[in-house]
């Protein structure tokens, strides 16, 4: 099923206006194994948030409450639609485990920091920003509103 077919099916089955846009269509992380594992955490209801660098967005852009996004597996197959519920911008060094635990990925703040330092360093190389401990992190809480 193509992304557009998936989106049209979502709109029809949820009774939304056919002109409803989605913010983005994406997979989590930068490698196949992790992307698919994180998708499974979302589908299981364990991953209810995600973090990204504010620098990865054009000025003034980024997720807002109410935005809808399509989450795919590594191969680009659409699997669910998420709705952004809340967005916070927090410097990396000020992240707490209470906040980052909503991502459902780590058992402690230290492993979250280690994994996200690695992610932001690699993502920064692709997106043209440099990771620092003061870098603003966009922390997005979401809810799965449709899945196949």
Find the mean pLDDT for residues 3-10.
Answer: 97
Classified as helix, coil or strand, 121 is helix
pLDDT higher than 90, residue 124: yes
pLDDT of residue 125: 96
pLDDT in tens, 28-38: 999 999 999 99
CA distance to 43, 97, 116, 143, per residue, from 110 (Å)? 25, 9, 10, 25
pTM of this prediction? 0.92
- Count of CB atoms situated within 10 Å of the CB of 88: 13
Residue 73 pLDDT level (bands cut at 50, 70, 90): very high
The predicted model gives 74-96 an average pLDDT of: 98
- Token pair listed for 74: 């590594």
CA distance 19 to 66: 15
Confidence of residue 139 (pLDDT cuts 50, 70, 90): very high
């Amino acid at each position: 099923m193509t992304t557009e077919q998936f989106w049209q099916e979502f709109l029809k089955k949820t009774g939304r206006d056919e002109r409803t846009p989605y913010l983005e269509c994406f997979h989590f992380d930068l490698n196949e194994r992790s992307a698919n594992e994180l998708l499974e955490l979302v589908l299981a209801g364990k991953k209810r948030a995600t973090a990204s660098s504010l620098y990865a967005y054009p000025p003034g852009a980024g997720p807002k409450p109410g935005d809808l996004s399509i989450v795919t597996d590594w191969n680009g197959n659409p699997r669910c639609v998420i709705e952004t519920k809340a967005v916070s911008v927090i410097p990396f060094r000020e992240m707490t485990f209470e906040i980052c635990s909503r991502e459902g990925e780590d058992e402690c703040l230290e492993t979250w920091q280690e994994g996200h330092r690695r992610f932001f360093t690699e993502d920064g190389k692709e997106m043209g920003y440099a990771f620092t401990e003061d870098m603003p992190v966009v922390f997005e809480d979401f809810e799965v509103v449709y899945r196949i």
